Amino acid sequence: MVEQINSFGYGLTLGIETRLGSRAQAICPAAQVGNVYVNRGMTGAVVGVQPFG
C-alpha cells in the first residue's frame, strides 16, 4: 500500500485507521506525504496555520 501511495510522486495528507500502534509506526515514516493523521479526522485544515493545496 505504501509503495502505491509513494508511486504517485506527491501526497498532501494520509489518514490511517488502525488498532495496531506498530502498523502506524511502520507506515508513517515510510509514506512520502505532507501530513499523517492516525485514528482521527483528516479534514478541516486551519486557514493560515496548516498548509493546504
User: Which residues touch 33 (CB under 8 Å, ≥6 apart)?
Assistant: 5, 11, 12, 13, 14
Per-residue pLDDT tens digits for 1-51:
889 888 988 888 888 999 999 999 999 999 998 888 899 877 766 666 766
Whether pTM exceeds 0.85: no
- Residue whose C-alpha cell reads 506525504 in the numeric block: 33
Q: What are the residue boundaries of the structural domains of the chain, listed by start?
A: 1-53
Per-residue pLDDT tens digits for 8-18:
888 888 889 99
In terms of Cβ atoms closer than 10 Å to its own Cβ (0-12, 13-18, 19+), residue 6 is: middle
User: Which residues touch 18 (CB under 8 Å, ≥6 apart)?
Assistant: 24, 38, 39
Question: CB–CB of 37/14 below 8 Å?
Answer: yes
